[in-house]
Amino acid sequence: MVGLYYNVILGWTIYYFGRTLGALPSGVLPWSDQAEGFVCPETVLYPKSAVANDPYLINPATGLFNASFVSDFWCPEVAGSQAPAGFQAVRVRPLSCPARSAAVFWEEQALQQSSGLDDPAGLNPGMVFAFTIAWLLVYLCVFQGVKSSGKVVYVTATLPYFCLLAFLIRAALLPNAHTGLKFFLIPDWSILGRGQVWLAAAVQIFYSLGVGFGSLITFASCSSKHNDFVRDAMTIAFINCSTSVLSGCVVFPILGFLVSELQGTSPCISGDSLDGLKSIGLSGTGLAFIAFPIAIARMPGSFFFAILFFVMLLCLGIDSQFAMLESVVSVLSEAGVGRKFSRPVLSGMVCLVSYLIGLIFVCRGGLYWFNLLDTYTSVLALFVVTCLECVGLTWASEGKVWLEFKQQTQEWTGRELGPVFHWFWKWVCPGLTLALLLANFIPPTGKVDLMGAGESLPYPEGQGYLPTWSISFGWFLAVVPLLALLLVAAFPQLVYDAGEEDHSRNLSGNAENPAGSFMADRPPSVPQEDETVTAKTILKNNKNNKQPDRRRQTDEEEEEDA
């Protein structure tokens, strides 16, 4: 389900990349307040109480804001064109409004944003075009399985590091970079007591590592059985954490520079604190498509760094997208669909269906649907699935699954899994995932509000954003992935008898070696001493049923004869 809406991020990135290239002749980035045709807004919103308490902000002669003090007044960010209760519309036309210009470009030109979730307002042609290109790129990466995606990943996994290093050098030379770096490295201990902070951190790790999405299992099926996956797991975890630290050392110095550039442009931004940047968006899409573009537009060599930034986003996004798509295609192939269609055709069908469903995200109200699905669809299912993976490995069949897994790991890799692994997978990992979910279910306020549902409605509540019915619909979407788990638990034979062909047969597309990797030398239905432990073999052993699977044997014999 994440793969349905995730690709729209690639569409947004491609749109910004194209607009950046198109603006090269003018020499002005399209989201800059100096771009042709952009005029700073004349009316802004400000809390009435603050206006009354801070009269020095108002020029007594004109009744307008003191333009020498404020030039880009958008605090707080409020949807809608009319001033809501508690706010006062104040007339002022600032000479410079870098933050507002980037927000206007994002909302009015890129998204052509409608008034709310229940106002789709038709398709956005420019974004539909970018979204189409994004899905074509994903298809080209996956249409031949790991034959194609394995080559693409050499570029998409390494190029972002060169981009990060270039940004790191540039960020270190920016004014006030030390302020952002200090904000990044010195923790705020009071915030660490919030359950949602830890949940967000865990979700970020799950996304960056690909844990719980099935992509790791899919790609692991292409490896040799003698591959030291324990070493690989530790190496990848270390690289992932190191990359996160490197990214922080790039992003926060740039935000520190942004604070110095926007000083005096908004009462929200004062001193060396980065908290005021929340008014222009510092998370999710706001960071990537508003805050960062503002900073880039005010850097020397802005076009070079803009192109570099969006190329980096494109590489990172396409990596995640085709990994999720590989999992879906592999499951369909192993369920028998792959016998009717070739790998390129099956991949194309999955991409086409996903593209058609995803068109809702490139409507003018698409950002609201994106936020709805992003809020509800991934977290609950992701944590439940990863928890059950640990439980299934260490608790199933009274620990027999773990003993067989441990024995085969030692036989294949020569590495013995000590008690620390068992202890973590049996107790620590399931316990922490459940604790994080419960901490979010029952926050300090005592209000049951999983994933911050109440916080998803900005002030004024409901205006131009999520209507009340969307929260119920979001919970429905959150539960849908869990229904698949119940289906497998209730009808295991539907899965086990669907076909146990090796993943790599579908991933590699190699007709001469249909088994692909380490199962290639195995004759049909003749188990070897080091046979892979599958859910079906465990089920049969527990039932003391030693009868061969005649349907699997017949299918494999027919394929071998063919």
Tracing tokens 């210009």 back to the chain, one arrives at: 101
- How many Cβ atoms from other residues are within 10 Å of residue 438's Cβ? 11
Dist. CA 358–CA 6, nearest whole Å: 9
User: How high is the mean pLDDT of the chain?
Assistant: 75
- The string of pLDDT tens digits covering residues 21-38 is 999 999 999 998 888 877
Q: What is the mean pLDDT of residues 410-424?
A: 89
Q: Judge whether residue 315 has pLDDT over 60.
A: yes
The predicted structure's pLDDT at residue 327: 87
Closest CA to 365 of 286, 231, 467, 501: 467
Mean pLDDT (whole number) for 480-506: 65
- pLDDT score, position 280: 63
Whether 166 has a pLDDT exceeding 60, the answer reads yes
pLDDT at residue 471, rounded to an integer: 77
Strand, coil or helix: 179: helix
pLDDT of 104 above 60: yes
CA–CA gap between residue 43 and residue 32 (Å, rounded)? 19
Cβ neighbours of 329 (radius 10 Å): 24
State which of 162-176, 184-198, 199-213, 379-393 shows the largest mean pLDDT. 162-176
Residue 61: per-residue pLDDT: 55
CB atoms under 10 Å from CB of 169, counted, come to: 10
Does the pLDDT value for residue 427 go beyond 70?
yes
* Rg of the chain, C-alpha, whole Å: 27
Assign 259 a pLDDT band (cuts: 50, 70, 90).
Answer: confident
Residue 71 in this model has a pLDDT that exceeds 60: no
Q: Whole-angstrom Cα distance, residue 557 to residue 7?
A: 40
Percent of the chain predicted with pLDDT > 90:
25
- In the structure, what pLDDT confidence band is assigned to residue 466 with cuts at 50, 70 and 90? low
User: Which pLDDT score is estimated for 74?
Assistant: 42
Q: Model confidence at 551, in pLDDT bands (50, 70, 90)?
A: very low
What band does 85 get if pLDDT is binned at 50, 70 and 90?
A: low
Is residue 428 over pLDDT 80? yes
7-11, 189-193, 278-282: which is most confident: 7-11
pLDDT band at 52 (very low <50, low <70, confident <90, very high): low
pLDDT-based confidence at residue 139 (cuts at 50, 70, 90): very high
Answer whether 38's CB lies under 8 Å from 50's CB: no
Q: How far apart are CA 122 and CA 467, in angstroms?
A: 19
208 has pLDDT over 60: yes
> pLDDT higher for 459 or 398?
398
| Average confidence (pLDDT) over 448-462 | 42
User: CA-CA distance, 127 to 150, in Å (whole number)?
Assistant: 29
Q: Are 315 and 160 in contact (CB under 8 A)?
A: yes
- For residue 103, give the amino acid letter: A
Assigned token pair, 325: 């798509």
Token pair of 389, please? 């993976």
What is the reported pLDDT for 14?
Answer: 96
Reduce the DSSP state of residue 58 to 3 states and report it.
strand
Q: Residue 134: which pLDDT band, with cuts at 50, 70 and 90? A: very high
> Across residues 210-230, what is the average pLDDT?
85
Q: What is the pLDDT of residue 192?
A: 83
**Does the pLDDT at position 233 exceed 70?**
yes
Which pLDDT does position 69 carry in this prediction? Answer: 43
Q: Which residue has the higher pLDDT, 531 or 336?
A: 336
Please tell me which of 221-225, 283-287, 314-318 the model is most confident about, judged by mean pLDDT: 314-318
Q: Would you report the helix, strand and coil content of the chain in percent, each value rounded to 5?
A: 65, 0, 35
Predicted confidence (pLDDT) per residue in 343-358, tens digit: 889 999 999 999 999 9
Q: How far apart are CA 21 and CA 360, in angstroms?
A: 27
Position 244 pLDDT exceeds 80: yes
Return the pLDDT at 171.
92
The mean pLDDT value for 274-303 works out to: 79
Binning pLDDT at 50, 70 and 90, where does residue 523 land?
Answer: very low
Q: Tell me the per-residue pLDDT of 291-302, one tens digit each, with 9 for 90 and over.
A: 889 889 888 889
